[in-house]
Each structure stands twice: as C-alpha cells, then as structure tokens.
Amino acid sequence: MVFPKKWLSILSVNSLMLFNVSFPVLMLPNIVNGGEVIAQTDPNAEAEKLLRQGYELLKQGTAESKKQAIEISEKALQLYREAGNKTWEALTLLGIGRVYSDLGEKQKALDYFNQSLTLWREVRDKTGEARTLTDIGRVYNDLGEKQTALNYYNQSLPLLQQVRDKTREAATLHNIGRVYHDLGEKQKALNYYNQSLPLWRQVGNKTREAATLYNIGAVYNDLGEKQKALDYYNQSLPLWQEVRYQTGEARTLTDIGRVYNDLGEKQKALDYYNQSLPLWRQVGNKSREAATLHNIGRVYNDLGEKQKALDYYNQSLPLSRQVGNKFGVATTLYNIGAVYNDLGEKQKALDYYNQSLPLSRQVG
C-alpha cells in the first residue's frame, strides 16, 4: 500500500517555526524600553501618573488588565492634548496602539499608530517616526498583508540608520527577511538576515542573534542545502543554551533532527528529537511535544521497529487530541493504521484508517 506523503509525517507542519523580532509595549520609555528616554518637556504630572498606573496594569498580563490600561492611557492622552504636548501625545498613542495589537485588535492598533505617525512627523522626531513605521509594518505582517508590511519596514529602515538605532535597524532587517521568507523569496530573505546578523552581534543581543542564525538555517533547509542548514542551526543552538531560552533550544534541536532524518541519518535524528522532547515538556508546549513524539515514532517505523513506532504514536495521539490539532490526530491515526497494516493486522489497520478518514476530510 502506498501512503500519501502528507500523512506520513508532521515534521514540516509542526517543527519549523520561524522567529520574528518585536519589542515590548512602550508606554513609559524610561521604564519599559531598556532605559531609553524620549525627551519630554514639562509633562503634565497627572498624565504621567496615569501612564504609570497603566503600566502597572500592563504588567499583570491579562486581557482585562490591558483593557483597563488602555482606558487609563486614554485619560492621559487627553491631558497631553490639552497641554499641547505633541511628543507625549504621540508616544501615548503609540503605546495604546501596541496594547491593541497585543490584544489582537489590529485595525484599532493601526488607527492609533497612524495618529502617532502624523504627530512624530509634525514634531520632526525621526526616532518616533521610525519606530511607529516599524510597528505598522508588523501589524500588516500579522494581517497577512506582506507587501504593505514591506512598504512600512522599508520606510522605517533609512530613518533608523539616520538616528543610529542599531537594535531596531537589525530588527527591521530581520523582519524584512522574514517577510521575504514567507513570500518564498529565499535569496532575498538570506540577504536581509545576513545584514541583520552582524548588527545583533555588534549590539550584543545573543537571543536575537540566535533567532537570526536559526532563520538562516531554515532558509537553507528550504533550499535543500542541508549541510548549510545544520551549520547555522548548530551556531544557533549554543546561544539559546547560553541565554537559557528553552523554546528556541527545543525548536533548534527538533529541526536538526529533522535535517538528519531527511539525510537518512535516523539514529542522529532520534538523538536530537530525544534531546528536544524534555524541553518541550518543561515549557509546557503540548503541540510540539505531540509532534516530537510522533516524529520519533516515524523514525522507528522507518527503521522497521514497529512496536516502538506504535508506542510513540500512541503517546502522541492523546496530546494532539488535547490541543485540538485535527491534522495531527488524523496523521497519527493514519500512521498507526500503516504500522498495523505492515504487521499484517488488517482489521486494526482498517479501524485506524477509518478513524483518520473523516478528520482528514475536515482538514483537507
């Protein structure tokens, strides 16, 4: 029996997650934004007090506290308008827009960002203008409007270079690369990632250096250049470990395993999958845990170790159900059926195929 390729593995769906680069919500720059301060002249004390209250609410991290932070920030916004303080009006609009974006209300975020952008240009603040253009680009990227995202990123880039904001220049170059990657323009993606990489090293941001190395590896993997992919993944891995970012480490280990699997080096693939598995459990990512268990099962199946394959598929299945991943459930049911078919247990094979079939129709 020949199995459809897409049902044999969920590696490509569940292992590769490119890293985007973003910045925290900015409401009080001297507190939130790494000690950077946008100059203010005679700020209304009551407005500043309100913004501090809003920031404290933001730190709670709940949707309700974020909405409350917006309400308080709106009061501060009105006070800055009454005082004619356009710089802090622009900054507050930017902060409110970021909270709306974080809440998933992208159109509202765009409304506030565009109001902020007009003011930054009016007061001729290139730093504020550049950061707001970047945030608008990020929202359009989230909305799937990739060309519009590129337009805004490309407007922000020369401004960031003018004000010598190397951190945000690196982030913008990286995110342009990410858009091109999403659009399938791999060489352009590599070009921008490779412009971003030395800037991350220059500013000493190892987390984002690791993310960029990872994404370069992902491009080479997509291009079929497996050894280059391994080279960049292996540069990324010790950086994730150094900064103790377990999600990045787990993703990279998983994708190294994926490359070795593609190269036919099954034992090496198992080694890396087994290193990633406890990390997915530690960070509580059940979707990735399920995918990794499934992929270990797939390797054992390829090695002819059918009982081990069943063991891992059966560990994966309830996790995929728990997180509502119908594609993962359908794939795993199908692959369990395939194992039973290979073992000559035809009725069991039919049972699992018949469980998989309606789900496969649902997910296409």
User: Which tens digits make up the pLDDT trace of 330-347?
Assistant: 999 999 999 999 999 999
- Whether residue 26 is predicted with pLDDT greater than 60 in this model: the reply is no
SS3 state of residue 94? helix
In which band, very low, low, confident or very high, does the pLDDT at 363 lie, cut at 50, 70 and 90? Answer: confident
Q: If we measure between CA atoms, which residue out of 255, 259, 249, 250 comes closest to residue 227?
A: 259
- pTM summary value: 0.84
Q: If we measure between CA atoms, which residue out of 93, 175, 165, 86 comes closest to residue 126?
A: 165
Q: Check residue 8 and give its pLDDT.
A: 36
241's CB contacts (< 8 A; 6+ apart) are: 249
DSSP state of 165: -
358's CB contacts (< 8 A; 6+ apart) are: none
- Do residues 109 and 100 touch, judged by C-beta distance below 8 A? yes
Helices and strands in the chain: count of H runs, count of E runs: 19, 0
**Architecture in CATH for domain 206-284:** Alpha Horseshoe (1.25)
- Whether residue 17 is predicted with pLDDT greater than 60 in this model: the reply is no
Mean pLDDT score, 114-124: 97
- Whether residue 119 is predicted with pLDDT greater than 50 in this model: the reply is yes
Assess whether the region 1-17+286-364 and the region 206-284 belong to the same CATH fold: yes
Q: Check residue 45 and give its pLDDT.
A: 84
Which tens digits make up the pLDDT trace of 198-252? 999 999 999 999 999 999 999 999 999 999 999 999 999 999 999 999 999 999 9
Q: Check residue 29 and give its pLDDT.
A: 41
Q: If we measure between CA atoms, which residue out of 201, 114, 191, 101 comes closest to residue 143?
A: 101
- CATH topology classification for 1-17+286-364: 1.25.40
Which tens digits make up the pLDDT trace of 43-90? 578 898 999 998 899 889 899 999 999 999 999 999 999 999 999 999
SS3 state of residue 310? helix
Which tens digits make up the pLDDT trace of 272-309? 999 999 999 999 999 999 999 999 999 999 999 999 99
Task: Give per-residue burial for 206-228: e unless 16+ CB within 10 Å, then b.
Answer: ebbbbbbbbbbbbbbbeeeebee
In which band, very low, low, confident or very high, does the pLDDT at 18 lie, cut at 50, 70 and 90? Answer: low
Which tokens is 216 given? 């370069």
Which tens digits make up the pLDDT trace of 30-45? 333 433 344 444 557 8
Mean pLDDT score, 140-156: 97
Q: What percent of the chain has pLDDT over 90?
A: 84
Mean pLDDT score, 183-199: 98
- Whether residue 14 is predicted with pLDDT greater than 50 in this model: the reply is no
What does the domain layout of the chain look like in residue ranges? 1-17+286-364, 206-284
Give Dmax over CA atoms of the chain in angstroms: 81
CA 351 – CA 14 distance, rounded (Å): 25
Which tens digits make up the pLDDT trace of 90-112? 999 999 999 999 999 999 999 99
Q: Is residue 302 classed exposed, middle or buried when 0-12, 13-18 and 19+ CB atoms within 10 A define those classes?
A: middle
Q: Check residue 162 and give its pLDDT.
A: 97
User: How long a stretch of residues is the chain?
Assistant: 364
- Do residues 69 and 92 touch, judged by C-beta distance below 8 A? no
- Whether residue 183 is predicted with pLDDT greater than 80 in this model: the reply is yes
User: Average pLDDT of the chain?
Assistant: 89
Which tokens is 229 given? 């992919």
